[in-house]
Chains A and B, each alone.
Chain A
Amino acid sequence: MVNTQVDLSGLVLDNPVIPASGTFGYGYEFAELYDINILGSFSFKGTTREPRFGNEPPRIAETASGMLNAVGLQNPGIDKVISEELPKLRRVFRKPVVANISGFSIDEYAQCCERIDKEEQVGLIEVNISCPNVHCGGMSFGTSPQSAAEVTRAVKTVTKKPVYMKLSPNVTDIAAIARACEEAGADGISLINTLMGMRIDLKKRSPVIRNVTGGLSGPAVFPVALRMVWQVYDAVKIPIIGMGGVSSAEDVIEMMLAGATAVEVGAANLVDPLASKKIVEELPRVMERLHIENLTEIIGGAHHG
């Protein structure tokens, strides 16, 4: 028997597999197909203080081995998430959930995190300072160490649960930003969010996505994500949730060897709603094949000296 348990700042997960925010809604659609309680946890749809429609469509474009999205943080707002979605979510998912919070000002981050921190169902708060789709918004917080630290401090002051800062890959030095978050009190780092990209429709001679740019995800970004997890692991002591193009149990192991304690699965859920289930089920078999008894033993295992 292999042990797939991992520990995120005191939150013990049965396995490291966590569907990523924005690719799993509030879990209902997936619960139609399988018992989602087999997951380590899942990160619910990014939530802001006010309800948001997001960007005008088209919001989606296909790419080689991936996709672009510019949803733009569509969500019903923190009030409705707490009063409506969380009670509904409880019916399909009994484990602690990861609350993904986004914002456009330090105050908004702090207010939303303070409120979600009081929710019993929430096991961990993932603060998105990296969404590339919102003009004059989240992007700036995640692109400088100072503003990333400011958000971290503001959130940490008003919360008791573990706070993981979710970083943007669209920066020159991801390690510096991760370090700034750690120094400001972050309990962990979550990375990567999507890479900014675009596509052009040849017949229309205009961008496919109305927002012009969108966030690239899917297997195409996996090596980039892996490299950044590796760099951040070298830069900080706090745990890392690694994500970006993860599509198989092998990818999970690879992310963990690079330094991740847990792993989020994103775009894969959208093309195959059973992707996360398959990864959870495949993981023990892959561990046996690779002679891994305890998953925690391999975290950062590819860093030698």
Chain B
Amino acid sequence: MFDTVFEVATNREIARGTYEMVLLGDTQGIRPGQFVNLRLEGFYLRRPISVCDYGDDCLTLIYKVVGHGTEYMAGLKKGVKIDALTGLGNGYDTSVSGDRPLLIGGGAGVPPLYALAKKLLSEGRTPGAILGFNTKDEVFYEDKFRALGIDTYVTTVDGSYGIRGFVTDAMDLGYTYFYTCGPEPMLRAVYRKSVTSGQFSLEERMGCGFGACMGCTCKTKTGHKRICKDGPVLTKEELAW
């Protein structure tokens, strides 16, 4: 865990209700699948946001406006300073991916898979990606995944873009392992449909975000896990679904 201050470089709407915020600051120790916990003026608890992409001194976050906190974030202008805790959570383990891992993201669960895709590529893997959204207006980052040279499939529930249906409707392809992040009903569907082992990034209401308050604990086959510290990434074998 690191305590640091970022400065907003850009903050723009990239799809309906979905924003991309690029922050400048210290990104030491950040890994794909981790999150940062942002302190926002006027809100008592921090807001945990998954890491979408990072470089030596810049960090990209993508968030969906779902409440007062994210609404406030959407209004932040260039130059605003944000106090953040970084390096939170375990992140994805890429050592077990095999040659052709599949990345399965749903809505606001797509962002953490982007940094993961870059890491897997740098390790010589050939990941594929399925990005699921409700409707065409909400689609984002398809081009960014394609620009990495990744076979990318987009699904929309209403069929307004890409493959009609859920991410699981596009899962009939060969893969050696999978990584997924998205709403829980989607994760459960992926759990049932998947034919290999894989890793799930989970979400829960958090107090501290760094393992102290036990506010986000869930039961797993291997004991009680704090989503913020022992997760947010759990393996298929750990999940008690």
Kindly supply a per-residue 1/0 record for chain B positions 78-108, scoring 1 wherever the CB is within 8 Å of any chain A CB and 0 otherwise: 0000000100000000000000000000000
Q: Is B119 located at the chain interface by the 8 A CB criterion?
A: no
Q: Is B144 located at the chain interface by the 8 A CB criterion?
A: no
One of A57, A60, A66, A269 near B212 (C-beta < 8 A): A269
- Expressed in whole angstroms, the minimum distance between the Cβ of B207 and any Cβ of chain A is 5
Q: Is A274 located at the chain interface by the 8 A CB criterion?
A: yes
Contacts of A71 in B (CB 8 A): 213-215, 217
One of B43, B212, B217 near A270 (C-beta < 8 A): B212
Contacts of A269 in B (CB 8 A): 208, 212
- Expressed in whole angstroms, the minimum distance between the Cβ of A222 and any Cβ of chain B is 13
Contacts of B241 in A (CB 8 A): none
Please measure, in the bound complex, the distance between the C-alpha atom of A32 and the C-alpha atom of B29, giving whole angstroms. Answer: 13
Q: Is B218 located at the chain interface by the 8 A CB criterion?
A: yes
Q: Is the CB of B217 within 8 A of A54?
A: yes
Q: Is the CB of B45 within 8 A of A273?
A: no
Chain B, 195-225, CB within 8 A of any chain A CB: 204-208, 210-219, 224
Q: Is the interface of B mostly helix, strand, loop or mixed?
A: loop
Q: Is the CB of A62 within 8 A of B45?
A: yes
Q: Is the CB of B3 within 8 A of A271?
A: no
Contacts of A138 in B (CB 8 A): none
Interface range, B side: 20 to 34
Q: Is A145 located at the chain interface by the 8 A CB criterion?
A: no
Contacts of A63 in B (CB 8 A): 44
**Identity of the chain A residue whose Cβ is nearest the Cβ of B216 in the assembled complex:** A57
Contacts of B214 in A (CB 8 A): 22, 25, 45, 54, 59, 71, 74
Contacts of B224 in A (CB 8 A): 53, 74
Please measure, in the bound complex, the distance between the C-alpha atom of A66 and the C-alpha atom of B43, giving whole angstroms. Answer: 9
Q: Is the CB of A29 within 8 A of B229?
A: yes
One of A28, A53, A67 near B45 (C-beta < 8 A): A67
Q: Is B148 located at the chain interface by the 8 A CB criterion?
A: no
**Identity of the chain A residue whose Cβ is nearest the Cβ of B215 in the assembled complex:** A60
Chain A interface residue count, Cβ-Cβ cutoff 8 angstroms: 36
One of A53, A66, A271 near B46 (C-beta < 8 A): A271
Chain A, 175-198, CB within 8 A of any chain B CB: none
Q: Is the CB of A32 within 8 A of B1?
A: yes
Q: Is the CB of A67 within 8 A of B210?
A: no
Q: Is the CB of B1 within 8 A of A57?
A: no
Contact A62:B215 (CB < 8 A) given known A29-B229, A273-B3: no
Q: Is B136 located at the chain interface by the 8 A CB criterion?
A: no
**Identity of the chain B residue whose Cβ is nearest the Cβ of A66 in the assembled complex:** B44
Contacts of A57 in B (CB 8 A): 204-205, 215-218
- Expressed in whole angstroms, the minimum distance between the Cβ of B67 and any Cβ of chain A is 9
Contacts of A233 in B (CB 8 A): none
One of A22, A25, A28, A67 near B44 (C-beta < 8 A): A67
| Most chain B beta carbons < 10 A, residue from A58, A218, A269, A270 | A270
Q: Which 3 residue pairs spanning A and B have beta carbons closest together?
A: A270-B208, A60-B215, A58-B205
| Sample of 15 further A-B pairs with CB below 8 A, known A23-B212, A60-B216 | A25-B211, A54-B217, A57-B216, A57-B217, A58-B204, A59-B214, A60-B206, A62-B43, A67-B207, A71-B213, A74-B224, A218-B44, A267-B44, A270-B212, A273-B85
**Which of B's residues lie within 8 Å of A, judged by CB?**
1, 3, 39, 43-46, 85, 204-208, 210-219, 224, 229
